[in-house]
Chain A
Amino acid sequence: MKLLVCVSKTPDTTTKISFANNDTEFNTQGVQYIMNPYDEWYALVRALELKEAAGGTVTTINVGPAANDTVIRKGLAIGADDAIRVDAPENCSTYYVAKQIAEQAKAGGYDVVFFGKETIDYNGAQIGAMVAEMLDMPFISYATKMDVAGNTATISRDIEGGQEVVEVDTPFAISAAKGLAEQRIPNMRGIMMAKRKPLNVVPPVDVTEKVSVASYALPPAKKECHYIDAEDMDKLVELLHSEAKVI
C-alpha cells in the first residue's frame, strides 16, 4: 500500500507561551519544537507497521519553512521512506495547509492518508476533514485501532462515552488517537539512514486565506489555591456550594 502521513511541527508541551508584535504573533524565541505527538506516536507508527506487515511505502508530508526539516528528518529516522515538504511560510492557516497536502496527495495516488487527531498547538482538528473533502475520500477520525485486510480496513474510533467500529475501503483518510500504535524511538541506524533518504521540497499552490489571527491573549490569571483543612470537608462542600456554586 502507498501510505501518506501528514506530520506537523508544534511547540513542545512544556513551552512557556508568550506573544510578540503587539500580541499579534506567537513568540518563537527559545521555543523547542517537536513533531506533533499524535502524528508521530500514532499515525506514523501505525503506517510503518502496515508497511512492515504487507509491503508498500510510507511518505511523510509537511507544509512549512526549511526550519521544519529537523522534525521531518526525525520521521525518516523512525522509518518513513521519503518525505515531501511544501515550502511555505510559518503560521499559514489550516485551509492553506490542507490545500497543499491535498494537491500533493492527489498527484501521489495514496491508499491511505494519515493525520494526528489534532495538533497540540492550535487544537483545531480540521485539516484531516478538509483534505478528505478535497480528495473526496471517506474520513475516519479519532481512530484507536486499525486492521487492514486487502483493500478493506476495520477501524475503531472514539465517540462520546465509547467506541464505534467501522469498515471502509481504500482510498480513505484517517486521524489517529492514542491506542492506534505505540511510540517508537529512532535508533542510531535509523538516524544515519535518514540523512540519505529523499526529502523533496516542492513549491506551494496559491491559496486565498479565509481565516487570520487578529490577536493572542493569555487566559485570566488563576487565583491562589485556597487550602482547606483535611479534617474539615464540611468546609469544602460549603465553599463548592456557596462560593464556586458548582454543587
Chain B
Amino acid sequence: MILVYTSSPEGQLKKSAFEAVTYGYKAAQAMGTEVVALTIGNVDNAGVLGQYGASKVLNAAGADSFDSGVHAAVIAKVAEQVGASVVVMPDDSTGKSLLGRVAVRLDAGAVSGVKSLPDTSAGFAVKKNVFSGKAIVDFNISSDKKVLSIAGNTFPPEVVGGDVAVEAAGVDVPASRVRVKEVNTVKGTVPLPEAELVVSAGRGMKDPGNWGIIDELAGHLGATTACSRPVADVGWRPHHEHVGQTGVAIRPNLYIAIGISGAIQHLAGVNQSKTIVVINKDPEAPFFKAADYGIVGDLFEVVPRLNEAIKKFKAAN
C-alpha cells in the first residue's frame, strides 16, 4: 500500500496535494498496489483526491493547526494501520517539516524533493536534484519502508477517476505543543513555490516606483511576481518575493527575469525553471548563459512592448 499525505493549508487542498496523489497512483500502478490518501484537520472537499487515483481518502480530525510532531505521529499511525510500505508527501513547507519525523517514526529511509518515479527493477531507487540543481543523484533506499517528498511542479495532476467518500482515520491525535498565533498569507495570487508562471525583476528597475510595468506583465500572464535579493534587501519588494539561494527556490514552467544580472546565488533558486526568458541591457550579463530566450535591450522599452504583444496575443486566442 502507498499512503499519500496531502497538506491542506487553511483547510484547502492545493496543486501540490494533487501532484502527490498522482505520483502515488503512478508508483502504485507500477508496484501493483493501491493508494490511500490522508488529510489531517478540517479539509474542504477531500473526496476530490479520489479523482487523482486515491482508492480511499482518510481524514484525521482534531488537529487543525500545523504541528510537525502531531502530524508525524498521525501519519505514522495511519501508515501502520493501512500497511503502507511507501509514504508520499509534497515537498512544501509542511512536507519539509514532516519528512524526517515520519522517517524516524517508521524506521524508514527518506528522500526529499524526489523527481522520478521509483525504479524497482533492482531494489528501490529515486532521483533528486542536488547542489541547487547543478547535479542529479540516484538514491537507493534499502529499508523496508520508504518515505518520499515529491518536488513541486514535476508530476502534473492527472484525473483518473471520481470522488470517493471520506472516512475517519480512527487514530488518536496527540495534543499539540505548538500554539499557532497568526497565519498571514497573500490572498489572490498563487504562492511562488506553486506558481507555473513567474515574472521577476531586479536592480535594473532603478526605483520601486517603476514596478507598474512588471505588475502589468504579471497581470496579463496570470503570473506571480518575484524579485532578486538586492531589491528585497533594500525593501523595494516584500521579503516573500525573493527567489534565489537564500530566498524561495522555484521551478515554474516560465521564469521571466527582468533587470537581473544572474549571480550564481540567484540562479541556484531558479535554474530548474523549464523555460527562462532574460531581459537585460547588458549583453554580458551572466543570466544569458542560463536563458532559453534572451532580449538585449532597455527594459523600460522592452517590457511595455512585451505587454502590448501579450495583450494582442490574449485577445486573439
Residues of A at the B interface (CB closer than 8 Å) are 11, 13-15, 17, 19, 37-38, 94-95, 98, 118, 120-134, 136-142, 144, 154, 157-169, 172, 177-179, 209-219, 222-223, 225-231, 233-234, 236-241, 244, 246-247
Contact = CB atoms under 8 A, between A and B. Distances in A.
Contacts of B137: 122, 213, 215-217
Nearest to B91: A125
A229 B133 CA distance: 30
Interface stretch (B46-54, B157-165, B192-200): B192-200
A237 B310 contact: yes
B289 A168 contact: no
10 contacts: A124-B113, A132-B101, A133-B100, A160-B14, A161-B240, A164-B184, A172-B177, A210-B109, A238-B313, A247-B254
B218 interface: no
Contact of A120 (B139, B142, B268, B275): B268
Interface in B125-159: 125, 128-143
B100 A129 contact: yes
B138 to A, nearest CB: 4
B191 interface: yes
Contacts of A216: 135-138
Contacts of A98: 100, 104
B288 interface: yes
A217 B130 contact: no
The secondary structure that dominates the A interface is: mixed
A120 B178 contact: no
A170 B186 CA distance: 30
A129 B275 contact: no
Nearest to B135: A17
A198 to B, nearest CB: 29
A225 B257 CA distance: 14
B101 A122 contact: no
B1 interface: no
Contacts of A132: 68-69, 100-101
A234 B309 contact: yes
A95 B275 contact: no
A233 B302 contact: yes
A129 B101 CA distance: 5
B210 interface: no
B206 interface: no
Given A166-B181, A222-B290, A226-B293, A129 B247 contact: no
Most B Cβ at <10 Å: residue of A120, A129, A172, A236:
A129
A212 B139 contact: yes
B33 interface: no
A118 to B, nearest CB: 8
A94 B100 contact: yes
A141 B93 CA distance: 8
Nearest to A159: B93
Given A139-B68, A209-B142, A162 B295 contact: no
B56 interface: no
Contacts of B100: 94, 98, 126-133
Contacts of A120: 131-132, 245, 268
A150 B94 CA distance: 28
B141 A210 contact: yes
Contact of B179 (A15, A131, A167, A241): A167
Contacts of A14: 264
B111 interface: yes
B101 A160 contact: no
Given A144-B239, A215-B138, 15 more contacts: A15-B131, A127-B100, A139-B101, A140-B178, A160-B92, A160-B193, A210-B108, A211-B110, A211-B111, A213-B137, A216-B137, A230-B305, A233-B305, A233-B306, A247-B313
B191 A161 contact: yes
A172 B193 CA distance: 27
Nearest to A239: B293
Contact of A95 (B110, B197, B302): B110
Most buried by B among A95, A130, A230: A230
Contacts of A244: 254, 274-275, 292-293
